[in-house]
Amino acid sequence: MTERTFSIIKPDATRRNLTGKIIDRLETSGLRIVAQKRMWLSQKQAEGFYAVHKERPFFHDLVKFMTSGPVVVQVLEGANAVAKYREIMGATDPKKANPGTIRKDFAESIEANSVHGSDSAENAAIEIRYFFADTEVVG
């Protein structure tokens, strides 16, 4: 089933100039980038995006990290895109990520973990709408 997921290449990855290497992983896996922009999130944008985590102890640091440098937000399309992207990202904690995954190979820590990917098709739709107008997504 062709579906879409939402991705963020995080500040630890843009800082180390890894955008292209991560994009190569996405495209090699069969995912297609149908929308993409580089931006520097405001505190308000980061807090809104991660609102589901606002009671978690790591929320403050997470927002601080996500606003510490540029990010690249993307819409990825492909067969089972949500599950496919989660598979190639690897576990949230890079110490637990499988070999060959983006987080195993590039992430610095559970916080600076290089990429974000939606956890369900429902959340993907919400996250895509948070950053992109319909006209900016070109399949």
**In the complex with ligand CMP, which residue's Cβ is closer, 62 or 75?**
62
User: Quick one: angle between helices 81-89 and 19-28, nearest 10?
Assistant: 130
Catalytic site includes residue 116: yes
Task: Establish if 4 lies at the interface with ligand CMP (CB under 6 A).
Answer: no
Tell me the per-residue interface mask from 23 to 52 with ligand CMP, x by CB under 6 A, - otherwise.
------------------------------
Q: What share of the chain is helix, strand, coil (3-state, %, to 5)?
A: 45, 20, 35
Task: Establish if 116 lies at the interface with ligand CMP (CB under 6 A).
Answer: yes
Residues in the chain: 139
**In the complex with ligand CMP, which residue's Cβ is closer, 3 or 111?**
111
Residue in 17, 124, 28 with CA at minimum distance from that of residue 74: 124
Task: Establish if 113 lies at the interface with ligand CMP (CB under 6 A).
Answer: yes
Residue in 38, 26, 4, 33 with CA at minimum distance from that of residue 101: 26
Residues of this chain that bind ligand CMP (CB under 6 A): 53, 58, 62, 92, 110-111, 113, 116
